[in-house]
Amino acid sequence: MNAKKDLGQNFLVDNVVIEKITNEINATKNDLIIEIGPGYGALTSILKKTEANIIAYEIDTDLKIYLSKYEDNLTKIIYQDFLKSNIKEDIKNIKYDKLFIIGNLPYYITTPIIEKITKEELIFEKLVIMVQKEVADRFVAINKTKDYGYITLYLKYYYDIKRLMNVSKNSFKPVPKVESTVLLFLQRKDKPNVDKEKYFSFLKECFKQKRKTLRNNVSSKDFEIIKDLLKTSGLNENIRAEEINEDLFIKIVNNI
C-alpha cells in the first residue's frame, strides 16, 4: 500500500473496526450509499454486500487500478474532490429510499465535509464518519466543559451526534499520530425555533474569546437583555458562554 500524506491517506486495516463501521450502515438494495474517500476499498468492499447503490468520491486517481474492481451497475466511483462535487447532480438518476453517507477521511477536511453535507440539504438516514478523537470530543461536548464551543452548538442545531466507538491508531496503515472516533450523525427533526443566521452569528460572537465572560463578548445593548434572562434562569451575570446550554442560547437569540 502506497500512502500519500498530503491526501491524508491512513487506510483501515483492522477487520473488526471495518466490520463495526459498515454494520452501522443498515442499507438494503433500495437504498443509496455515498462513500467519501474509499481508498483501497476497505469499506466499499463490505458495503457492496448491502446491494445498495454506491457512489464513492475519491480524489486520488492512482487508486483507480485498485478500485475499478468494485465498479459495476450498482457502484460508481467518481474521481473528484468531494468538496467540489455536485452531489445532487451525481445522484439525480438514482432512485432510492434511504440515503446513507459514510467516510473515513483526512481529518483536516472533517469540518468542511460536514459543512458541505449540511449545506446541500440532503435528507439522509445516517451519516457515519471517522474523525480525530479530540474533534469528536468537541462535536459531542456538553456545556460547562472545555470542549464545548461554537462548533458543538452549530452541529447540534442540525444533528443528534452519537459516539459509536473509539478507534486505536494501530487500526490504520500508516499509523497516524492521533486516536480516532467514529461518529453517527442523525438529522434532527425538532430543530430549534430560531432564525439560524442570527443564532450562528450570535454564537460566534459569544465564543470569540472563550475565556472572557459573555458580557465581554457581546454588545452592551444585548447584554442588558441577556442579564435579565440569566437572572430568571438563576444564573450569574458573569457567566461564560461555555456554561450556557442550547435552550438558553435560543431563548436569548429570540429576545435580542
Nearest CA-CA partner of 176 in 253, 105, 73: 105
Choose which of 1, 16, 83, 175 interacts with ligand SAH (CB under 6 A): 83
- Does position 178 interact with ligand SAH (CB under 6 A)? The reply is no
Query: What residue has cell string 461554537?
Result: 150
In the complex, least distance from residue 15 CB atom to ligand SAH, rounded to whole angstroms: 12
With respect to ligand SAH, which residue has the nearer C-beta, 62 or 224?
62
- Does position 7 interact with ligand SAH (CB under 6 A)? The reply is yes
Give, as one character, the DSSP assignment of residue 77. Answer: E
Q: Would you give the binding string for ligand SAH spanning residues 105-144, x where CB under 6 A is met?
A: xx--x-----------------------------------
Kindly identify the residues of this chain, within the stretch 42-81, that bind ligand SAH according to CB under 6 A: 42-43, 57-60, 81
Q: How far apart are CA 149 and CA 210, in angstroms?
A: 8
- Per-residue HEC secondary structure of 22-59 comes to HHCCCCCCCCEEEEECCCCCCCHHHHHHHCCEEEEECC
Q: Would you give the binding string for ligand SAH spanning residues 18-47, x where CB under 6 A is met?
A: ------------------xxxx--xx----
With respect to ligand SAH, which residue has the nearer C-beta, 46 or 235?
46
Q: How far apart are CA 13 and CA 35, in angstroms?
A: 17
Pick the stretch among 9-17, 151-159, 201-209, 239-247 that binds ligand SAH (CB under 6 A). 9-17
Q: How far apart are CA 164 and CA 184, in angstroms?
A: 6
| Angle made by CA atoms 158, 116, 4, in degrees to the nearest 5 | 130
- Does position 222 interact with ligand SAH (CB under 6 A)? The reply is no
| Angle made by CA atoms 56, 57, 59, in degrees to the nearest 5 | 145
Residues interacting with ligand SAH, by CB under 6 A? 7-12, 36-39, 42-43, 57-60, 81-83, 104-106, 109
